[in-house]
Amino acid sequence: MMSPDISIVNFYSETGRLGLHQDRDESGESIRKGMPIVPFSIGDTAEFLYGEERDVEKAEQVELESGDVLIFGGESRMIFHGVKSIIPNSAPMSLLNDSNLRTGRLNLTLRHF
């Protein structure tokens, strides 16, 4: 069971990106237990990279669209991950119309400290 107690919020403009990294700011206990990181994607699609090494050449790539939720916990807790690029103007039109969200990508990661 996981009950998140923090969320990091990232906003990416069309040129936004985030280098490959591991999430290590949580407590030792949280990391040891493999408590999941749960990122929500809202807005423009991201080309998301992940892999076992900090090596862009070896990383797998997946497109994270608005509404997608990732979970990395357990054995995957310390995976390297990052955002290679944002695909401009890829957010659902209905989201932009209904929410006043500016163009770009909003990412919320729920975590257990």
Ligand X SMILES: O=C(O)CCC(=O)C(=O)O
Going by the annotation, the residues of the binding site are 21, 23, 81
Q: Which residues pair with 82 in a beta bridge?
A: 49
Q: Which is nearer to ligand X, 23 or 44 (CB)?
A: 23
Q: Which residues pair with 83 in a beta bridge?
A: 18, 48
Contact with Fe ion (CB under 5 A) among 12, 20, 23, 45 = 23
- Position of minimal CB gap to ligand X: 107
H and E: helices and strands count for the chain? 2, 7
Q: Which does 56 bind (CB under 5 to 8 A by kind): ligand X, Fe ion, none?
A: none
Nearest to 41, CA basis, from 4, 113, 100, 95 = 95
For ligand X, the binding residues (CB under 6 A) are: 8, 10, 18, 23, 39, 46, 48, 81, 83, 107, 109
CB of 100 closer than 8 Å to CB of 91? no
Contact residues toward Fe ion (CB under 5 A) are: 23
